[in-house]
Amino acid sequence: MAYSEKVIDHFNNPRNVGTLDKASDQVGTGLVGAPECGDVMRLQIEVDNDGKIADAKFKTFGCGSAIASSSLATEWLKGKSVDDALAIDNMEIVEELALPPVKIHCSVLAEDAIKAAINDYRVKQGLEPIEQEKSIVH
């Protein structure tokens, strides 16, 4: 299967690979997927005092589309408010990266990772986690 140019670009030049301090109250960490499914994403956000995402980092075990989806997600997250970040939909990632149908689960995983990171941050701030719709099981 051929990958789109955008996927290849994110794969070769991943944005924001790294680790934030998961112990910090300002940092939310989302770890989704499972090794036996062939993809695991860890996405982290650092939120400033105004509720804006000042930094975002990822690490992903997975195929090119999974790496590209998480790399793109961190790019989109930076500078967004937490509320705006919650609105990111996996289909936007699919469109941006021109993912084929068999790779849609990679974008779902990225959306799940964003939501999981935000919830982790919310819980640390003493807020209720946001109820998530169960994503499609593959």
List binders of other proteins among 71-100 (CB under 8 A).
none
Nearer to other proteins, 63 or 82 (CB): 63
Return d(Cα 94, Cα 1) in angstroms, integer: 16
Return d(Cα 88, Cα 103) in angstroms, integer: 18
Return d(Cα 92, Cα 95) in angstroms, integer: 5
Nearer to other proteins, 1 or 23 (CB): 1
Structure tokens, 111: 């959306």
Binding mask 12-51 for other proteins (x = CB under 8 A): --x--x-x-----------xxxxxxxxxxxx---------
Residue 127 CB, shortest distance to other proteins, in Å, is 21
Interface with other proteins by CB under 8 A: which range of 48-56, 89-97, 105-113, 119-127? 105-113
* 63 belongs to the catalytic site: no
Note whether 102 binds other proteins by CB under 8 A: yes
3-state secondary structure of 58: strand
Number of amino acids touching other proteins (CB under 8 A):
35
Residue 77 CB, shortest distance to other proteins, in Å, is 17
Task: List the one residue from 20, 46, 47, 62 that touches other proteins (CB under 8 A).
Answer: 62
Note whether 105 binds other proteins by CB under 8 A: yes
Active site residue ranges? 37, 106
